Structure 1
């Protein structure tokens, strides 16, 4: 039993701090399945349904809701209660009319931000890198494990507006000065602002970016922490009405 528990479950005290569960309520909690997001940057669907949205009183009810095909992630029905959802994923619950985008709050916790029906048909995905595949086509490898083909000229760090669930590219936002960025890591996680300067180093030190907030305050963060979300203004709504 101990071996099965360690395989299928996770000790509560070892769960990520952003999970909304009490470490002393029980010894075990659900362990996310291998998927598009790591344990540290995701939430298992069971916790989303039972502990965050509270549309189920217990694990059994949550599993029944999932088995009935009532939960969609990025336009696809997901029935695995261990399925990990993470940054920018779109969650739909047609039965209740609830629509959400997974985003970080100012404390770095993943939250389910309510979005209107017209916003469920797209998702912003950051290009992590590119691969040339058979036939000379360019494959874009995205932050959430997805990939898609494109003939256009994109660079790592650019963000594409992806149509769901078809995975067709609607638009793109370049990682460049003047565009709006959301900080996804470090001490400024959850903050947004205009990219004032991109600092490229010629050493082993990481590249950085200077971000200017709406209050005209500036701060420095790692380039990899900046996720562009718009040109003149964000194309998505954000927690706290930002």
Structure 2
């Protein structure tokens, strides 16, 4: 099991890129929008990946001064869970990053412009008619939205405006769409959906075929030339 009250570095996810020879314990991420084995504590993002801090004291100063926003909200907790698709904004430096995985399943933080930092994407995990006959959809990052386009279905991808907190676009989950693996052993791989059955069959951009469970992928574009998010 990855997480005890004081999680051992030796069993922390490899995606965190920790030096497991230094120290014994790792930071335990708070409960939040991402599963604990699919996220990384904000402290490690600032220290290990972005290089804005060298120790806990520097991390606390950065957060105490309200310098960090995630998906448009100021975050002050160093254990806050950060995961795929999140937008990290540092207003003091006017920098924005979107969270991805590299092809080895390690976290990556892509520098994005201000326009792209205004939205994020998520996979629809459920849809229901709630109290007062109000239709809701629920996404893999723990969010819910009401009065969305009724043609949005489970496993579709929605584009979310981070200011209005509304769905502004969506892509149906279907054959020939481009998808990214966001969890599991093949996290970070990108390919075109070839077939949909018990497992989803994809072909990557090197024409290699692989299969994953549907809950492990997020559709990111209609085709290779039309992606919702950039990777450069």
Higher alpha-carbon Rg? 1
TM over 0.5: yes
CA drift of 1:94 comes to: 1.1
SS at match of 1:30: coil
CA contact (8 A) 2:159 2:168 kept: yes
Aligned twin of 2:194:
196
The partner residue of 2:228 within 219, 232, 235 is 235
Q: 1:32-74: per-residue Cα shift (whole Å, max 9, x none)? A: 1111112211111111111211111210110110011000000
The partner residue of 1:129 within 108, 126, 131 is 126
Q: Tell whether 2:140 aligns with 1:147.
A: no
CA distance in 1, matches of 2:27, 2:214: 33
TM-score for both structures, normalised by structure 1: 0.87
Q: Which runs of 5+ in 2 are unaligned?
A: none
Aligned twin of 2:211:
220
CA distance in 2, matches of 1:27, 1:37: 24
Q: Tell whether 2:173 aligns with 1:175.
A: yes
CA drift of 1:169 comes to: 1.0
Range 182-191 or range 90-99, more displaced = 182-191
CA drift of 1:164 comes to: 0.5
Aligned twin of 1:115:
112
CA distance in 2, matches of 1:70, 1:151: 33
| 1:78–1:186 CA distance, 2 compared to 1 (3 A) | closer
CA distance in 2, matches of 1:226, 1:57: 34
CA distance in 2, matches of 1:43, 1:69: 20
CA contact (8 A) 2:137 2:148 kept: no
CA contact (8 A) 1:161 1:169 kept: yes
CA distance in 1, matches of 2:125, 2:164: 20
Q: 1:215-237: per-residue Cα shift (whole Å, max 9, x none)? A: 33333332222210011332211
Q: Which runs of 5+ in 1 are unaligned?
A: 1-5, 200-206
When the two structures are aligned, how many residues end up with a matched partner?
226
TM-score for both structures, normalised by structure 2: 0.90
